[in-house]
Amino acid sequence: MKALYFNEFGDANVLKYGEVSDPVMNENEILVEMKSIGVNFADIYRRKGNYHLAGEAPYILGYEGSGVVKAVGENVSYVAVGQRIAFADVPFANAELVVVPEEKIIKIPEGISFDTAAAILLQGLTAQYLLSDSYNLSSEGETVLVHAAAGGVGQNLVQLAKAKGAKVIGLTSSDAKAKVVTSKGADHVFLYDTDWVSAVQTITSGVDVAYDSVGSTLEQSFAATKTGGAVVFYGMAGGDPALVDPRMLMDTSKTLTGGDLWNVLTSHDIRQARADQLFTAILNKDLVVSEPTIFALSDGQAAHDLLESRKSTGKLLLRP
């Protein structure tokens, strides 16, 4: 089969496209012919050697995608050959064929395309647990601050929070990205190169919850949060956060919480149920997935360069 692979860590130019060995399926797995593959920052970190990477050279990136069942292991009863499925955390996805364990299979319903499934699962499931598990956004009228609101998770947070009745304030880095955030329903959008903490404090008494994926902005997130509010920390795109003084948490009754998607997706039933909630939100138009930027799998270098430039908005996909 053809795949996007690399033999040593480095910049995007280490990626190569060519023939590799076909994957071997066991009795508890299925073989999927890939139709669409999600590209994420985790792929960049793994390519550089910063994240754990499964397997041995030649390394194949990718953990998210969608396709058609080509073969089924003898112990698998959940799906049949020809069905459309997706997954969010299966390695070696940057290839024409991928082996998927039965417990990680997500069926794709009618009305959801391969591209939409590949574009929404990882980032959509992340936004979903942030709004329901890390902080249960349940009271209509709560005020939410979303960092990196033009990114994939950010756009999903904005829309899903609005669907729950929240007032949403987005943060982003440019006027062009601010327009994207506004188009997703944000009530206010501020740029990082402004005094956004003061701006937030001017229009609120402090937000109920701040979703911080930047890391280096953690102190500012606390400053923008009301007494008794919460900060949800789930990423470090802008660098490591400053240490948090627990006495500040005590004095202000504020909460700092984190979360990891894989601590939430603990069974096949939970995985499918949460994905179905996302798909329903899309079908009901509570969640609109931005048109993805699509590259051929053979052009994986270009996809990595664009994502790493941070000039893209929405999802990048690879097609075999």
Query: 61 near 301, Cβ under 8 Å?
Result: no
Residue 75: burial class (beta carbons within 10 Å; 0-12, 13-18, 19+): exposed
**What pLDDT score was predicted for residue 52?**
80
CATH superfamily of 139-258: NAD(P)-binding Rossmann-like Domain (3.40.50.720)
**What pLDDT score was predicted for residue 17?**
98
Q: What is the dihedral of CA 261, 90, 106, 31, to 10 degrees?
A: -170
The structure tokens 């499918």 sit at 272
Percent of the chain exceeding pLDDT 90 equals: 89
**What pLDDT score was predicted for residue 56?**
86
Residue among 203, 137, 138, 135 nearest 169 (CA): 203
Q: How far apart are CA 3 and CA 94, in angstroms?
A: 6
Residue 80: burial class (beta carbons within 10 Å; 0-12, 13-18, 19+): exposed
**What pLDDT score was predicted for residue 275?**
98
Q: How far apart are CA 48 and CA 67, in angstroms?
A: 27
**What pLDDT score was predicted for residue 54?**
78
**What pLDDT score was predicted for residue 310?**
75
For the chain, the domains span 2-120+265-319, 139-258
**What pLDDT score was predicted for residue 184?**
96
C-alpha count within 13 angstroms, C-beta hemisphere, residue 49: 8
What is the residue-averaged pLDDT of the chain?
95
CATH hierarchy code of domain 2-120+265-319: 3.90.180.10
C-alpha angle 148-44-213 in degrees, rounded to nearest 5: 25
**What pLDDT score was predicted for residue 151?**
87
- For each of the chain's 320 residues, which pLDDT tens digit applies? 999 999 999 999 999 999 999 999 999 999 999 999 999 988 998 999 988 887 889 999 999 999 999 999 999 999 999 999 999 999 999 999 999 999 999 999 999 999 999 999 999 999 999 999 999 998 889 999 999 999 889 999 999 999 999 999 999 999 999 999 999 999 999 999 999 999 999 999 999 999 999 999 999 999 999 999 999 999 888 888 999 999 999 999 999 999 889 899 999 999 999 999 999 999 999 999 988 999 999 999 999 999 988 777 779 999 99
**What pLDDT score was predicted for residue 50?**
84
Global pTM value = 0.92
CA dist list (Å): 12 to 89, 157, 295, 302, 314: 22, 29, 14, 8, 20
